[in-house]
Amino acid sequence: MSDVKTPEAIYVTEALIAEDIDAYLDQHQHKTMLRFITCGSVDDGKSTLIGRLLYDSKMIFEDQLDALALDSKKVGTQGQEIDFALLVDGLAAEREQGITIDVAYRFFNTEKRKFIVADCPGHEQYTRNMVTGASTADLAVILIDARKGVLVQTRRHSYLCHLIGITNMVLAVNKMDLVDYSEARFNEILADYTAFAHSIGITEFTAMPISGFKGDNIIGASDNTPWYKGPNLVEHLEAVEVNSARDAGKAFRMPVQWVNRPNLDFRGFAGLIASGSVKPGDAIRVLPSGKTSSVTRVVTMPSAGFAGETAGDGDLDEAMAGQSVTVCFADEIDCSRGSVITAADNPPEVADQFEATLVWMDDAPLNVGRAYWLKLGTQLVSATVQAPKYAVNVNDAGGSGSHVAVKTLELNAIGVAELATDKPIVFEAYAENRTLGGFILIDKMTNRTVAAGMLHFSLRRAQNVHWQATDITRGDHADLKNQTARVLWFTGLSGSGKSTIANEVEKALNLMNRHTFLLDGDNVRHGLNKDLGFTEADRIENIRRVGEVAKLMADAGLIVLTAFISPFKADRDLVRGMLPEGEFIEVFVDTPLAVAEARDVKGLYKKARAGTLKNFTGIDSPYEPPASPEIRVNTVEMSAQEAAAHIIRQLMPLK
Amino acid sequence: MARTLTHLERLEAESIHIIREVVAEADKPVMLYSVGKDSAVMLHLARKAFYPSPPPFPLLHVDTTWKFKAMYELRARMAELSGMELLVYKNPEAVEKGINPFDHGALHTDMWKTEGLKQALDKYGFDVAFGGARRDEEKSRAKERIFSFRTASHGWDPKNQRPELWNIYNAKKSKGESIRCFPISNWTELDVWQYIHLNDIPIVPLYFAGMRPTVERDGMLLMVDDDRFPLRPGEVPVMRSVRFRTLGCYPLTGAVESTASTLPEVIQETLLTTTSERQGRAIDKDAGGAGMEKKKQEGYF
């Protein structure tokens, strides 16, 4: 450690702490907070830089330093010197492999600010972790190894930071000690990076030559770089504007988390203010209902503590972006979790079709047309994503984010696509408001967070295509036929007997003078869906179209029978959601795989087993059985006629 | 021009937001209450989140029967003040076998705390449990998500954590899974102390210096809190002015010699000290550098 410089300015002013703790506490109490991320290629020295910041700000305790010295000798990569990277690589697997896998959060203070640093992994397979770290950051430090210059990862990470909306960027050219603090080398890298940055729309960044390992330009100007006149890293971090301060100047928006109703006299709406400010007397509008009222109280708990001394808070005169409060209205208007309270004269849009950028974060690729949960603020809706318009290639030679045509999005891919929600949501463009424009997609089966999304704008057709009201209703159609419209949705393996049983049911209904129509899988694929294949995405689209057709026929008053394998629960639920409650009757033709395969009426199982037929349900593509179908028939114990009779009995009465 | 919120205002708002999200989305949440200073802050934040309602979930103390007497006193007082239900769970097997830190070593923590917690969560069917862990405490905690998922057997898989974006939390869980939620993840030890100071939050008096009977053993100063403490030959309790930086089972928690009797003095000492907070606890020293990571994989909070 002998050649490591002692920090010139010690952040935690020990003298002040020792002499006047109250003055120090007062200073600390009024500090602001900056969250930033460090990113760059593997071995650019991210962890070392953070270790350095912690060390210089005395956030490393003696016992941790002892453990660190021991670890450094055992697994360190710096010979006998202390390896700061070991301080931040927290997981055992990370220390063993000498790489950062997951985002680590670290904390340090200066006299002006508290800092939360997200140390993000560099490898491409951990892009999702980097995006996670970036999503809460006010600033990004992009590290470059002075010996290596701008690399693929540098471009990728810069693009991601820009994408996620970080406007404060620091280009830290690290390991300057290893290039003899060469100004020429620094300028060369700066020129390279500037050209790239402009090509992807980054207009402003601050570049500085540093050495995380030796401590140059971290705190105070380094004697080794007399040619550099800009700010040192810590000085810069202390000065930049944080996001919440910027958001406070915008129009008021607060997503409602929870309705607080302890008794009949109090009804408040709890939330974190996303933008703007609010005070008693303000006129507000609640979306999506559009109802208006005015604010009577902005409530927080009085911190009387328990000692009886009032320390502050209680009702506020005004609250601003970044604060968690409870707001009361003058009128009893409809407002619940998922609603957004907004300035009455400046509300955001409500829509159900959007264009968005998606960062795909799951091993399973995007299923076009499949329904996912979409969570935006406190709103949770079902959403389907269209085929991506394009994916962004951030690894190409120029790194300019060129567009690539793709059919889906794989892990770590970034693409732009249109999506539709089942209910209108309150939103703003991500560039305007992170809270009302940023969302996640959740897989309905695995519950995993599969994508991060950023809304660009609503599609005008969502606003301009309205339902045309007609005088003859769907009820009128069905009444004339002396029946209740229904969709009997037969699902089961290939060869389970769906078509045979559906055919028997239709024959029986026809004898009873009912108006029916049977949509059969194979028949539909010869016409309406002849452009679709058997990939997972195409199968989802197949079912969606059949669902829409079935719905139109049910609107016309028919009893519709459909016979499709329809292997995915999410897709069947999508169709269920299209129809009025009670009209979707899921009929599970429950035939074990072995029985269906033994029948093999069309010889398909043989082909699938031989590998000549791909994506065959039950063999190399999953079948998700219904958990609680309206009707279940067992074709091992029942004949097709018995199964049909059982189904008809379940349907009675028909009107 | 709007003012910029202070770091404590931002931390408080974030924690309250997290606690409310859990209540809005969980089926049956519970707050783990260990009676320490972090629990004190977490409880205060929960009360603030739902004021004027009391927090709509119970407190759960996984008891080892070996906590300091002063902790049991504060526990009772806080349950009454908060108006929340207090559940106390003691692993019946540990009770029966008389598991204690003197005779059973690591088994003490395993049975009372790790096993006890799993049993309690299973018994009541809680799907989300709030914990007061902070990311600045320990290396593996620095990498844990705010919503941290556990398998049906309560294990943690550090390599398979859900990405956590902006302040949107995915609380959807599969059958058998449960969630540990850490609303004060981003607080540091200093933040906790300062918040307690600013809001006058009651804490166990053991955090302040006082004359207490102690013995020096294996490099730690242990307090003889009751007559269950088996003295070794030659050991005589000595009255020393000590305080505790962290509180757990009294036979496992090292005291530091101190005269700090007010919060500012405690904070002063904390800032000028050269050893980290958990150093007073024996639990982190198992299994080399990965002690806590391993414990968490096994189901420790």
Residues B93 and B157 in one domain: yes
CA distances from B174 to A373, A447, A523, B171, B286 (A): 14, 7, 38, 10, 32
Domain membership of residue A1 (yes or no) is no
Residues B39 and B65 in one domain: yes
Residues of B in Cβ contact (< 8 Å) with A358: none
- Three-state DSSP at B166 gives coil
Residues B96 and B127 in one domain: yes
Domain membership of residue A93 (yes or no) is yes
The answer to whether B289 contacts A71, with C-beta atoms less than 8 Å apart, is yes
From B16, B168, B201, residue closest to A440, measured CB to CB: B168
In Å, how far is A316's CA from the nearest CA of chain B? 13
- Three-state DSSP at A344 gives coil
Residues B106 and B243 in one domain: no
Q: Which helix (H) or strand (E) holds B191?
A: helix B189-199
> Which residues of A are catalytically annotated?
566
Contacts by A398-404, CB closer than 8 A, 24 or more apart: A398/A196, A398/A199, A399/A152, A399/A155, A399/A156, A399/A159, A399/A196, A399/A199, A399/A200, A400/A196, A400/A199, A400/A200, A401/A159, A401/A199, A401/A200
Contacts for B265 with CB less than 8 Å, ≥ 6 apart: A21, B209, B259
Residues A177 and A39 in one domain: yes
The whole-angstrom separation of Cα A372 and Cα B205 is 51
CA distances from B232 to B102, B215, B229, B237 (A): 11, 10, 9, 11
Domain membership of residue A2 (yes or no) is no
Residues B132 and B243 in one domain: no
CB-based contact B42:B81 (threshold 8 Å):
no
Residues A394 and A337 in one domain: no
Domain membership of residue A493 (yes or no) is yes
Residues B88 and B227 in one domain: no
In Å, how far is B175's CA from the nearest CA of chain A? 10
From A14, A249, A309, residue closest to B2, measured CB to CB: A249
Which of A204-208, A338-342, B158-162 has the least mean pLDDT? B158-162
Considering A343, A361, A384, which residue would you say is the last residue of a domain? Answer: A343
Residues of A in Cβ contact (< 8 Å) with B202: 305-307
In Å, how far is B122's CA from the nearest CA of chain A? 21
Taking CA A436 as the corner, what is the angle to CA A435 and CA A442, rounded to the nearest 5 degrees? Answer: 85
Domain membership of residue A146 (yes or no) is yes
The answer to whether B158 contacts A136, with C-beta atoms less than 8 Å apart, is no
Question: Which among A380, A339, A379, A164 has a CA at the least distance from the CA of A253?
Answer: A339
The answer to whether A64 contacts B276, with C-beta atoms less than 8 Å apart, is yes
pLDDT at A52: 80
Residues A159 and A181 in one domain: yes
β B29-32/B59-62 pair status: parallel
- Interface membership of A239 toward B (CB under 8 Å): no
Tell which phi-psi region holds residue A149, choosing left (phi > 0), alpha (psi between -120 and 50) or beta.
Answer: left
Nearest C-alpha in B relative to A63: B275
- pLDDT, tens only, A237-263: 999 888 777 888 899 999 999 999 999
Query: Domain holding A303: CATH number?
Result: 2.40.30.10
In Å, how far is A419's CA from the nearest CA of chain B? 19
Q: Amino acid identity, residue A483?
A: Q
Domain membership of residue B196 (yes or no) is no
Residues of B in Cβ contact (< 8 Å) with A103: 143
The answer to whether B142 contacts A12, with C-beta atoms less than 8 Å apart, is no
Domain membership of residue B143 (yes or no) is yes
pLDDT at A614: 81
Domain membership of residue A9 (yes or no) is no
Is the Cα dihedral A328, A329, A332, A334 positive or negative?
A: negative
Query: Domain holding B184: CATH number?
Result: 3.40.50.620
The answer to whether B142 contacts A128, with C-beta atoms less than 8 Å apart, is no
The answer to whether B279 contacts A61, with C-beta atoms less than 8 Å apart, is yes
Residue A436 gets which letter from DSSP? Answer: H
Domain membership of residue A5 (yes or no) is no
Q: Where are the beta strands (DSSP E) in A29-147?
A: 32-40, 104-109, 113-119, 139-145
Q: Which helix (H) or strand (E) holds A505?
A: helix A498-511
The whole-angstrom separation of Cα B147 and Cα B162 is 9
From A245, A312, A438, residue closest to B165, measured CB to CB: A438
Q: How confident is the model at residue A1 (pLDDT cuts 50, 70, 90)?
A: very low
Residue B62 sits at φ, ψ, to 5 deg, of -85, 100
Select the more confidently predicted residue: A52 or A438.
A438
Considering A436, A464, A492, which residue would you say is the last residue of a domain? Answer: A464
- Three-state DSSP at A439 gives strand
Q: CA torsion angle for A196, A197, A203, A209 (degrees, to 10)?
A: -110
- pLDDT, tens only, B203-248: 999 999 999 999 998 888 999 998 888 888 888 999 999 999 889 8
Question: Chain A window 584-603: which residues touch B at a Cβ cutoff of 8 Å?
Answer: none
Contacts for A461 with CB less than 8 Å, ≥ 6 apart: A353
Residues A25 and A144 in one domain: yes
Residues A230 and A101 in one domain: yes
CB atoms within 10 A of CB A430: 22
Residues B102 and B214 in one domain: no
A528: pLDDT strictly greater than 90: no
The whole-angstrom separation of Cα A333 and Cα A537 is 43
The answer to whether B143 contacts A434, with C-beta atoms less than 8 Å apart, is no
Determine the structural domain holding residue A275 and report its residue range.
247-343
Residues B100 and B135 in one domain: yes
Residues A523 and A644 in one domain: yes
The whole-angstrom separation of Cα B184 and Cα B131 is 8
Domain total of chain A: 4
Residues A70 and A192 in one domain: yes
- Residue B232 burial (CB < 10 Å; 0-12/13-18/19+)? exposed
pLDDT at A308: 37
Residues B27 and B105 in one domain: yes
Question: Which among A153, A166, A160 has a CA at the least distance from the CA of A128?
Answer: A160
Residues A160 and A69 in one domain: yes
> Quick one: tokens of A281?
């007397």
A321: pLDDT strictly greater than 90: yes
Considering A464, A484, A516, which residue would you say is the last residue of a domain? Answer: A464
Residues A191 and A207 in one domain: yes
How does A256-270 read in b/e, with b if 16+ C-beta sit within 10 Å?
Answer: bbbebeeeeeeebbb
Q: Amino acid identity, residue B86?
A: L
> Quick one: tokens of B191?
């933040």
- pLDDT, tens only, B69-125: 999 999 999 999 999 999 999 999 999 998 888 888 888 888 888 899 999 999 999
- Interface membership of A28 toward B (CB under 8 Å): yes
In Å, how far is A468's CA from the nearest CA of chain B? 37
Residues of A in Cβ contact (< 8 Å) with B53: 260-262
Q: Tell me the three-class secondary structure of A400-420, residue by residue.
A: CCEEECCCCCCCCCEEEEEEE
The whole-angstrom separation of Cα A100 and Cα A42 is 8
- pLDDT, tens only, A590-642: 999 999 999 888 888 988 888 888 888 888 888 999 988 999 998 888 899 99
Residues B86 and B108 in one domain: yes
CB-based contact A570:A444 (threshold 8 Å):
yes
Domain membership of residue A593 (yes or no) is yes
Residues B134 and B174 in one domain: yes
CB-based contact A96:A74 (threshold 8 Å):
no
Residues of A in Cβ contact (< 8 Å) with B166: 135-136, 434-435, 438
Residues A61 and A178 in one domain: yes
Nearest C-alpha in B relative to A262: B53
The answer to whether B140 contacts A91, with C-beta atoms less than 8 Å apart, is yes
Q: CA torsion angle for A639, A640, A643, A644 (degrees, to 10)?
A: -150
Residues of B in Cβ contact (< 8 Å) with A361: 163
Residue A346 sits at φ, ψ, to 5 deg, of -145, 60
pLDDT at A6: 40
In Å, how far is B20's CA from the nearest CA of chain A? 7
Chain B interface test: which of A22, A440, A454 (most B C-beta within 10 Å): A440
The whole-angstrom separation of Cα A574 and Cα A543 is 9
Question: Chain A window 409-468: which residues touch B at a Cβ cutoff of 8 Å?
Answer: 434-435, 438-440, 442, 446-449, 452
B264: pLDDT strictly greater than 70: yes
From A104, A248, A440, residue closest to B165, measured CB to CB: A440
Question: Which among A389, A384, A391 has a CA at the least distance from the CA of A353?
Answer: A384
- pLDDT, tens only, A6-60: 443 344 456 677 778 888 888 888 889 999 998 877 667 777 788 788 777 665 5
Query: Domain holding A487: CATH number?
Result: 3.40.50.300
Domain membership of residue B197 (yes or no) is no
- Interface membership of A635 toward B (CB under 8 Å): no
Residues B67 and B133 in one domain: yes
% of chain B surpassing 90 pLDDT? 56
Nearest C-alpha in B relative to A105: B142
Residues A167 and A275 in one domain: no
Please tell me the pTM assigned to this model.
0.78
Determine the structural domain holding residue B135 and report its residue range.
7-191+289-296
Residues A328 and A403 in one domain: no
Domain total of chain B: 2
**3-state SS of chain B: helix, strand, coil percent to 5?**
40, 15, 40
